[in-house]
Structure 1
């Protein structure tokens, strides 16, 4: 009788252990999958697949700029971000997020920029619009024709652009970026994130310092490996 009870107890323990062994990988996998999804969501709120990227796509240091083409401060910061990229041509990329904080003028300029991205002329059109910002966005003025004139001079196919500006695809990009502006609690342009960290305090030198730190850290990790 004692041997029979012992046998039953051992059998029950073995069955329990087997259930744990089988179930644990599944549970761990569920946890890892959930963590991965959470991480992807956090990353995607800063960088979407449609986001314009200036610089190498695989650069280890990412500057995300919530950007309004009608914003004077954004225009003032652009030479700095370009200079940073020239200093670190292989290490730094700039990701632009559309942030239409200045009403209709911003919305139109952003649509033009998004069409320019689709035509592979984003950077020249961006630089042309910023260089001549006062012609189409000074003191809240709105000159849609000037935006298209400037963009077409910089390489935009105007005829094709006029057909695409109000397309569902362009609207979907703008809607997504607006959602991400809210999700990241963006209240001013430009707002910068450097490798996922909000630039705070905000300033030109602070941006330079933040990028320098990240580049140095990445270089140190490469040397260690």
Structure 2
């Protein structure tokens, strides 16, 4: 299952932590004050925490207290993340609810539409189709690179979502805080590229060389589940 972190990521609203400054960053609305950030951290992000993403829905409520957590740092314009979907599907098939796979945003500056895509994924979650949207966008990374944000709206329409609301969300930046927080946490633990996996405190760097990563994840998950 895909899920958001169990609570707002550490450092939300902390100016000492880095944030994404990549290209293609729409949503230059009014920047929130520290009190605004704390309010969002204490309400909306917590409501989004402890949730699981399962096709065909979005972030469904329900903490998974007995599961092993696998954080997957990815970005939606990354061809390597698209190739990694097979591993993610295999892990979901093998472990089911025993493995809580958490999607974490890490848009790379070299992909100018990745930050917008991350925000769009959060809007898809708001509209109840997070996982189908992520898979559909990852299947069109080349097209996203060529055509840009219209692809994000096209995917929303194809899934029966409110594309106008997607466009509005990209303009007003309502999901920037979530993406920024994921980006900051990733940088803090040494994430430099995508996909990157973190399980039981061990960081496994993917990218073009993903051979052996799923086996290592399974080894750690099996050990934790048998403990």
Question: TM-score normalized by structure 2?
Answer: 0.67
Corresponding position of 1:28: none
Contact 1:135 1:146 (8 Å CA) reproduced:
yes
Residue 162 of structure 1 deviates from its aligned partner by 1.8
Corresponding position of 1:217: 223
CA–CA distance in 1 between the matches of 2:88 and 2:174?
28
Larger radius of gyration: 1
Corresponding position of 1:83: 90
Contact 2:67 2:98 (8 Å CA) reproduced:
yes
Higher relative contact order (CA 8 A, sep 6+): 2
CA–CA distance in 2 between the matches of 1:114 and 1:156?
13
Which runs of 5 or more residues in structure 2 are unaligned?
1-5, 12-44, 55-61
Residue 167 of structure 1 deviates from its aligned partner by 3.3
Contact 1:61 1:211 (8 Å CA) reproduced:
no
Corresponding position of 1:104: 112
Corresponding position of 1:184: 189
Q: Which runs of 4+ in 1 moved over 4 A?
A: 48-53, 200-203
Contact 2:196 2:205 (8 Å CA) reproduced:
no
Change (3 A) 1:57 1:71: farther
Pick the aligned partner of 1:152 from 152, 157, 160. 157
Which runs of 5 or more residues in structure 1 are unaligned?
1-39
Q: Secondary structure at the match of 1:84?
A: helix
Change (3 A) 1:129 1:214: same
- The structure whose residues are more often helix, as a share, is 1
Query: Aligned ranges for residues 49-198 of structure 1 at < 5 Å?
Result: 49=46, 50=48, 53-54=52-53, 57-58=63-64, 60-101=67-108, 102-137=110-145, 141-198=146-203
Q: Secondary structure at the match of 1:65?
A: strand
CA–CA distance in 1 between the matches of 2:174 and 2:114?
18
Residue 142 of structure 1 deviates from its aligned partner by 4.2
CA–CA distance in 2 between the matches of 1:95 and 1:119?
18
